[in-house]
Amino acid sequence: MGLNRSMGCTIPCFLIFLAASLLHVHVHSDADSLDEGFISIDCGLPGGSSYLDEKTGFNYTSDDGYINTGENHNISVEYNALELLRSSLNLRSFPNGGRNCYTLSPATTGFKYLVRATFLHGNYDGKERDLVRLPLVFDLYMGLHFWDRISVSSTTTMYVAEAIFVAEVSSISVCLIDIGSGTAFVSSLEMRQMKSSLYPVALQNQSIALQERRSLGASSLVRYPDDPYDRLWWPSNGTSRWLNLSTTSEIKHYLTDEVEVPIRVLQTAVTSPTTSIPLNLSWTVPSAWLAMAPPGYYLNLYYTDFQNQHKREFDIYYNGFLWEANNRPVSPAYLFADYTTATAIVTDASGFYNVCIIATNTSVLPPILSAYEIYYLIQHDDTATDTQDVEAMMNIKSEYQVEKNWMGDPCLPEKYTWIGLTCRSDGVTSRVKTLDMSNSDLQGAISEQFSFLKSLQYLNLSFNNLNGPVPDSLTNLLSLRVLDLSGNHLDGPIPEALCMARSLTLRYDTINGDPCNGKSPHKENTLLITVVAVPVVIMALLACTLTVFCFCRKQDLPGPKSQENCKGHIHTSDSREFTYAELVAITNNFSACIGEGGYGPVFHGQLKDGTQVAVKMHSPTSATGKGMEEFLAEVGSLTTVHHRYLVVLVGYCTDKDHLALIYEYMPNGSLYDNIRGRNAIVQTLGWRDRARIALEAAQGLDYLHTGCVLPIIHRDLKAHNILLGHDMVAKISDFGLSKSYINVAQSHISVTAAGTLGYIDPEYCVSGRLTTSSDVFSFGVVLLEIVTGEPPILPTPVHIVQRVKEKVIMGDIEAIVDRRLHCQYDFSSIWKVVDMALLCTREVSSERPTMSMVVAQLKDALALEESRVSSSTISQVGSNVDLSISWVASGR
Ligand SMILES: *[C@@H]1O[C@H](CO)[C@@H](O)[C@H](O)[C@H]1NC(C)=O
Ligand SMILES: *[C@@H]1O[C@H](CO)[C@@H](O)[C@H](O)[C@H]1NC(C)=O
Ligand SMILES: *[C@@H]1O[C@H](CO)[C@@H](O)[C@H](O)[C@H]1NC(C)=O
Ligand SMILES: *[C@@H]1O[C@H](CO)[C@@H](O)[C@H](O)[C@H]1NC(C)=O
Ligand SMILES: *[C@@H]1O[C@H](CO)[C@@H](O)[C@H](O)[C@H]1NC(C)=O
Ligand SMILES: *[C@@H]1O[C@H](CO)[C@@H](O)[C@H](O)[C@H]1NC(C)=O
Ligand SMILES: *[C@@H]1O[C@H](CO)[C@@H](O)[C@H](O)[C@H]1NC(C)=O
Ligand SMILES: *[C@@H]1O[C@H](CO)[C@@H](O)[C@H](O)[C@H]1NC(C)=O
C-alpha cells in the first residue's frame, strides 16, 4: 500500500500556498474554449448529423466517422418519456459479434485523456427480454487492455464506463468484445483531454478505470462546466446516519493539486453525528475483476473544512490499517481543497474493501468528507504492437480509406489480427510482418507510411489503382522479401536498390518498359510466382484423395523400355542375383524386420563384405502369373538405373516363390520419419537440411524422368519413399516398381497400387493417363510437407494444397511454415519452395513445371538459405553441404 497526502506542509509552507493560490486560474469558462481535445459522439446517430446538447452544452456528432461496423438503432419509443440524455435515445449495436472498435482521433501521443462510454438498452431491439434473469454481458477494452465488463440487467438504467489513460499513439481505440452473452451495443462515447499532471498514477504503461465517484452531500450531478474535465460527480445515494453540510464560500486549490476536484463538489460534504461515529465506506471488487486478478485499487478521498473555530482531526483506516502521511492524523484545511490518495493491491480473496474515517480522541468535531473516487488500476500488457507500426497502419488505413474491418490494435489480440496482415512477436512487441493489400481499390500514390513498418517481409499492393513513382523510402524495409506492385499504374523507374536486392522477389508490370531497366537479377522469379484459382483443383483433389478406389483406366503407360539407352549414363553396376539361401544368411534368417513395404516386409541385412542392405520381400501372391514376368523386366531395368540420388539396387532374388529386392541400407530412415515420424520426435530437420533434401530428391526424380531416352515414372512418390543415407543424403526409393504389380485384367486399381492417398495427381485420376507430370504433382505435395511438416490430408480432410493456398492468398505465408523451424529460415527461400510446390500441384498437368525447372528453383532456394546460415551462424559447421549443383547438366 502507498499513501499520498497532498499537503505534507507545515504552517510557513501553507502561507506560500495561500498566496500562490490567489494566482491560480480556474478554467471554468464557456464550452468553445474547451471543446478542443474533447470528442462527443452520439453512437447510432444518422451519419453526418450533429447537435448541440442543451443539458451538457456539447456538440455531439454521429459516430459514422469513427467506426464502420454495426447497426444504428433508436431505443423503444415508450422510453422517450423518461428524462434521458439525448445521446441515449439511439445506439449502435454489433450483432456480428467479435471485436468492434471505435478509433477516437485525433489524440496526442503522451497526453492524458478521460474516456467515457455509456450504455442504455431501452429495448431497442423490441425483444423485451428478461435482462434481470439473463443479463446481457460484453467486455469493453481500451486498445488491448481490458477496461470493464458491462452487464446490462435493466433496459432503463444508463451504465457508464470511464477511464483515464495516456494516449500511446495518435488515436485511441475503444473496443467492444462479444463474449457470447448477447449483442454488444453503445449509446455514447466521450473523450476529454486532461492536464497531464493530474492523476499521476495514470501513465503510459498503466491506466485507471473508474469504479465509483461520489460527491457527498450533493443533491445533483456535477459535471462540465463545473468540472473542466467533465468528470461525472454523482450525488451520494445517502446513508441516513450521515449529516449533509454545505457552504457557499469559495474553496481554493493548491497549485500542486493533482486532482482538481470541482469547487461545487467541495462545497458539500457529509459528517458523522458525533466524534465517536466513523464515516464508514466499503465496496467489493466487481466479479469480472475478481476473475481477472485485478492489479489493485486507486482510492482518492477529498475533504475541506467549512469552519475555522474548532479542531477537526481524524484517522483513516484502509482495510484495518492506519493510513497517515508524516505520522499525522488528517486535519482538513479551511476552505482549501485537500485530499488523500492511495493505491492498494487486493489483499482479501473476497475482494472486500473498507475505509473507516474516525475522529482522533483530541478532535472536537467529527470527520468530514466531500467526495471520493475509487479507480482500479489497469496494468498494460507490454507485448502490444510496436507503436510505430500501429501509427503507420492507422495512417495507411485513413490515407486509403480502407474499407476492411480494421479495428483496434493491428496485431493483437491474436484472435482479432487485422485481415490482410500477419505479425511476429519478439516477446516484447509485435510487429507487422506481412501485409496484403492487393485488390483493395487503393487510389493515389504508394504511401510513405509503408516504410515505417520496419519488420515487413511481404508487401502485396498488386491490382489497385496506385499511380506515381515507387518511393525510395521502401528501400528502408530491410526485411522485405516479397514486393508485388503488379496491376497498378505506376510511373517511373523502381528504385535501383529494390531492383538489385538479392533476397527480394519483386513483381511489377513491364507494359511501359522495364522499370528496373533490366537491372533486376531475379526477374524470372517474378514470372514464376503465380497463385492459381483454387476451387476446381480442390474439387478434383478431393474427389481423388477421398476415394479409396480410383476408377482409372490404365493404358498407354510409357515404361522404362530403354535400359540400353541408359547405359551410357550410369556408373558400373554390380547388381546381381541372390539365392534364397543367401538371403537367409544375409538377413540372419530374417531376424531384423525394419519396415513394411508396399509388397511385403523389409529386413535389415549384411553382405559378406560388411555392406549393410535392406531386403525387400515381395509376397508371392502379388507376383503371380504375368506379374512375375513384369517383376523380372523391372529388375532388369532397375539394375541399370543409377544415380547419386536414387537408392542403389544391390541385387534381387527370384528364387522360387521368394521374390526380393536388395537395396543399399539407408540408416537415417525416410523423409517422413524425419519430418513427422520417429526421428522427428528426437530432432527436427532444419530448413537448410529440408531444402537440401528437396533438391536432392528433385535431382533424383529429374534423372528418372530425363536421364534415359524414355522417361521412367515413379508413380508412388511420397515422403516415405525419400530415404536418407549417411550424412542425411536423400535418395529416392521404390521407383518404377508399382506398375509391375497391377492386375491388367482389372478395370480399376486400388490407390495403394496407383499411388498414395494425398499424393495422387487429380488429372491422372480423372483421365487415367499417366505422365511424368503426375510425379511432379506428387513431388509438389512432398515439397509442401517439407515446408509445413503437415501430412497431405490428415488430420483434416482438406488437402494440403488447399490449406497452403488459402494461407498464401491471405498473404499469411509464414503461417504455413512448420513451427518447429522456430523462425530459423530465409523467408525468400521458403517462398520459392512454396511457390514451386503450388506450380507443381496445378490441376492441369500441362501447366506444371518439369523436374528440371523444379531443380533450378530449389537450387536458388537452397542458396538463399545457405547465405542466411553462413551470415548468421558462422560457428555452425555443415557436414553435409557437399552438393553437386552442377550435376544435372552433366547428364544430358
Ligand atoms: C458540431 O461540430 C461539427 C463539426 O465540428 C460542425 O460541423 C457542426 O456544425 C457542429 N454542430 C453544432 C450544432 O454546433
Ligand atoms: C431514429 O429516429 C429518428 C427520428 O426520431 C429517425 O430520423 C431515424 O431514422 C431513426 N433511426 C433508426 C435507425 O430507425
Ligand atoms: C511505467 O512507466 C514508468 C515511467 O513511465 C516507470 O517508472 C515504471 O517503472 C513503469 N512500470 C512498469 C510496470 O513498467
Ligand atoms: C443528504 O442529502 C442527500 C442527497 O440530497 C439525501 O438523499 C439525504 O437524505 C440527505 N441526508 C440527510 C440526513 O438529510
Ligand atoms: C448506494 O450505492 C451503492 C453503491 O453504488 C449501492 O450498492 C447501494 O445499493 C445504493 N443504495 C441505495 C439506497 O440506492
Ligand atoms: C465499517 O463497516 C464495516 C463493513 O460494513 C464493518 O465491518 C465495520 O465494523 C464498520 N466499522 C465501524 C467502526 O463501524
Ligand atoms: C488519544 O490517543 C492516543 C493514541 O491514539 C493515546 O496515546 C492517548 O493516550 C489518547 N488520549 C486520550 C485522552 O485518551
Ligand atoms: C499478390 O496478390 C495477388 C492477388 O491476391 C496474387 O495474385 C499475387 O500472387 C500476390 N503476389 C504475391 C507475390 O504473393
Q: Could you report the per-residue pLDDT of 412-466, keeping only the tens digit for each?
A: 777 778 888 888 877 778 889 999 999 999 999 999 999 999 889 899 999 999 9
C-alpha 354 to ligand 3 mean position (Å) = 28
CA-closest residue to ligand 5 atom 13: 237
Least confident stretch, 94-98, 547-551, 768-772: 547-551
C-alpha 52 to ligand 1 mean position (Å) = 8
Dihedrals φ, ψ of 527, to 5°?
-70, -30
State the cell numbers at 707.
536421364
Element containing residue 576 per DSSP (H, E): strand 576-577
Residue 575's pLDDT is: 64
Q: What is the pLDDT of residues 197-206, one digit of tens each?
A: 999 999 988 8
The Cα–Cα gap between 258 and 262 comes to 12
Element containing residue 498 per DSSP (H, E): helix 496-500
- CATH 1.10.510.10 maps onto the chain at 667-865
Any bridge partners for residue 604, and if so which? 614
Whether pLDDT at 857 is above 70: yes
Structure confidence at residue 534 as a pLDDT band (50, 70, 90):
very low
The Cα–Cα gap between 87 and 188 comes to 6
- Please, which residues have CB within 8 angstroms of residue 750's CB and are 6 or more apart in sequence? 548, 549, 550
Residue 580's pLDDT is: 84
Residue 795's pLDDT is: 60
C-alpha 809 to ligand 8 mean position (Å) = 7
The Cα–Cα gap between 270 and 236 comes to 10
CA distances from 241 to 149, 214, 290, 676, 730 (A): 33, 17, 31, 74, 88
Percent of the chain whose pLDDT exceeds 90: 33
C-alpha 510 to ligand 8 mean position (Å) = 16
Can you tell me which atom of ligand 3 is nearest the CA of 382?
Answer: 14
With a 6 A CB cut-off, is 74 part of the ligand 2 pocket? yes
Residue 753's pLDDT is: 38
The CATH class of 575-665 is alpha beta
Catalytic residue among 139, 315, 716, 826: 716
State the cell numbers at 621.
501372391
The CATH class of 384-428+436-496 is alpha beta
Task: Select from 339, 215, 332, 214 the least CA-distant residue to 268.
Answer: 215
Can you tell me which atom of ligand 8 is nearest the CA of 813?
Answer: 14
Any bridge partners for residue 191, and if so which? 39, 115
Residue 66's pLDDT is: 92
Can you tell me which atom of ligand 6 is nearest the CA of 280?
Answer: 1
- CATH 2.60.120.430 maps onto the chain at 31-194
Residue 11 burial (CB count, 10 A): 6
Structure confidence at residue 275 as a pLDDT band (50, 70, 90):
very high
Q: Region 355-361: what's the mean pLDDT?
A: 93
Structure confidence at residue 63 as a pLDDT band (50, 70, 90):
very high
C-alpha 324 to ligand 8 mean position (Å) = 66
Average pLDDT value over all residues in the chain: 78
State the cell numbers at 426.
519478439
Least confident stretch, 86-100, 503-517, 555-569, 619-633: 555-569
CA-closest residue to ligand 8 atom 1: 460
Residue 291's pLDDT is: 63
C-alpha 237 to ligand 5 mean position (Å) = 6
Residue 125 burial (CB count, 10 A): 16
The CATH class of 211-382 is mainly beta
CA-based end-to-end distance of the chain: 82
- Classified as helix, coil or strand, 738 is helix
The answer to whether 732 and 714 have CB atoms below 8 angstroms apart is yes
Whether pLDDT at 868 is above 90: no
The Cα–Cα gap between 304 and 336 comes to 6
Residue 663's pLDDT is: 87
Highest mean pLDDT among 338-347, 379-388, 696-705, 818-827: 696-705
The answer to whether 791 and 578 have CB atoms below 8 angstroms apart is no
Whether pLDDT at 631 is above 80: no
Residue 891's pLDDT is: 29
Handedness of CA 683, 434, 422, 805 (dihedral sign): negative
Structure confidence at residue 619 as a pLDDT band (50, 70, 90):
low
- Please, which residues have CB within 8 angstroms of residue 461's CB and are 6 or more apart in sequence? 437, 438, 442, 446, 483, 484, 485, 488
With a 6 A CB cut-off, is 462 part of the ligand 8 pocket? yes
Residue 54 burial (CB count, 10 A): 8
Residue 290's pLDDT is: 64
CA-closest residue to ligand 3 atom 12: 205
Whether pLDDT at 18 is above 60: no
CA-closest residue to ligand 2 atom 2: 74
- What's the half-sphere exposure (Cβ side, CA atoms, 13 Å) at 439? 4
Q: Which residues have CB under 6 Å of ligand 5?
A: 212, 237
Q: Region 358-385: what's the mean pLDDT?
A: 88
Q: What is the pLDDT of residues 821-850, one digit of tens each?
A: 877 888 888 888 998 999 999 888 888 999
With a 6 A CB cut-off, is 658 part of the ligand 2 pocket? no
Can you tell me which atom of ligand 5 is nearest the CA of 237?
Answer: 1
- Please, which residues have CB within 8 angstroms of residue 467's CB and are 6 or more apart in sequence? 444, 445, 488, 489, 490, 491
Element containing residue 731 per DSSP (H, E): strand 730-732
The answer to whether 152 and 129 have CB atoms below 8 angstroms apart is no
Ligand 1 pocket mutation pick from 39, 59, 63, 86 by most atoms within 8 angstroms of CB: 59
Residue 32's pLDDT is: 41
Strands 443-444 and 465-468: parallel
The Cα–Cα gap between 135 and 184 comes to 12
C-alpha 215 to ligand 4 mean position (Å) = 12
CATH number for 31-194 (one of 1.10.3720.10, 3.90.1150.10, 2.60.120.430, 3.30.70.120): it is: 2.60.120.430
C-alpha 147 to ligand 3 mean position (Å) = 19
Largest CA distance in the chain: 123
Of residues 350 and 374, more confidence is placed in 374
Residue 74's pLDDT is: 95
The Cα–Cα gap between 237 and 217 comes to 9
Residue 373's pLDDT is: 96
Least confident stretch, 692-696, 711-715, 718-722: 711-715
Ligand 2 pocket mutation pick from 51, 72, 74 by most atoms within 8 angstroms of CB: 74
The Cα–Cα gap between 196 and 193 comes to 9
Residue 520's pLDDT is: 64
Q: Which residues have CB under 6 Å of ligand 6?
A: 278, 280, 282, 354, 356
State the cell numbers at 562.
530403354
With a 6 A CB cut-off, is 86 part of the ligand 2 pocket? no
Residue 269's pLDDT is: 95
Fold adopted by 667-865: Transferase(Phosphotransferase); domain 1 (1.10.510)
State the cell numbers at 217.
452531500
Residue 106's pLDDT is: 85
CA-closest residue to ligand 5 atom 14: 237
Structure confidence at residue 816 as a pLDDT band (50, 70, 90):
confident
Task: Select from 419, 430, 408, 423 the least CA-distant residue to 140.
Answer: 408
- CATH 3.30.200.20 maps onto the chain at 575-665
Strand order in the sheet with 99-104: 99-104, 172-181, 136-142, 145-152
CA distances from 526 to 156, 831, 848, 857 (A): 62, 12, 16, 12
Whether pLDDT at 304 is above 90: yes
Residue 73's pLDDT is: 96
Task: Specify whether the backbone of 352 is left (phi greater than 0), alpha (psi in -120 to 50) or beta.
Answer: beta
Give the DSSP letter string of 153-213. Answer: --SSPEEEEEEEEE-SSSSEEEEEEEEEES-EEESEEEEEEE-TTSSTT-BTTEEEEEEEE
With a 6 A CB cut-off, is 828 part of the ligand 8 pocket? no
Q: Which ligand is nearest to the CA of 530?
A: 8
CA-closest residue to ligand 4 atom 6: 238
Q: Which ligand is nearest to the CA of 86?
A: 2
Highest mean pLDDT among 265-279, 312-326, 579-593: 265-279
With a 6 A CB cut-off, is 531 part of the ligand 8 pocket? yes
Ligand 3 pocket mutation pick from 109, 112, 196, 203 by most atoms within 8 angstroms of CB: 203
716 classed as catalytic: yes
Q: What is the pLDDT of residues 134-177, one digit of tens each?
A: 999 999 988 878 898 999 999 999 999 999 999 988 888 899 99
Residue 293's pLDDT is: 62
C-alpha 343 to ligand 3 mean position (Å) = 15
Dihedrals φ, ψ of 703, to 5°?
-65, -45
With a 6 A CB cut-off, is 880 part of the ligand 2 pocket? no
- CATH 3.80.10.10 maps onto the chain at 384-428+436-496
Whether pLDDT at 561 is above 70: no
Structure confidence at residue 874 as a pLDDT band (50, 70, 90):
very low
